[in-house]
A = this chain, B = another copy of it.
């Protein structure tokens, strides 16, 4: 039911917890990207966070907690950046185009981090993994909302029952740029990729269709 997993901490002050966990996340993201989750030691995380191993364990209960924090933070950043890029002026179709452009740009800029989630989140305990996946759905909800708005204001011509599917498709297109960047970039710039995929998508959802 909860959106976020609660990680117990030995420290009381919530401000401090937040601050320290931000340090942990910042340090861990870099390490996980460079070396992978398993090859990164808790000592390294503590050192890169700027405090001792003992302090690290004041704010988390296990190494896996760090992975969860990292995954969650990355999702939050993707979602945050995406939301802040979307102005809700104009009709939904316009917003959708803007959202797509922003989404692809964010995925491009954060591709290391997004990749990290896909490669390492399997190491999370089953229950925790569910939290992370749910977080991803939050993002796809943004697109669902826009699509529904478009149905309402008449700027987007698809059936309600295809909304979820279409949102999924959009997510996939973003991830595709992350996963196969090495292949795709040989042929497309991000700009071209955005143009092309947007065009294809719009073809499917244009009112005239």
Contact = CB atoms under 8 A, between A and B. Distances in A.
Specify how many copies of this chain sit in the oligomer: 4
A186 interface: yes
Nearest to A176: B172
Interface string A176-207: 10011011101110000000000010000000
A44 interface: no
A156 B179 CA distance: 28
A9 to B, nearest CB: 14
Contact of A164 (B39, B175, B186): B186
A79 B128 CA distance: 35
Nearest to A204: B200
A206 to B, nearest CB: 14
B200 A183 contact: no
Given A36-B123, A119-B122, A200-B200, 4 more contacts: A118-B179, A140-B183, A164-B186, A171-B180
Interface of A: 36, 38-39, 118-119, 122-123, 133, 140, 164-165, 168, 171-172, 175-176, 179-180, 182-184, 186-188, 200
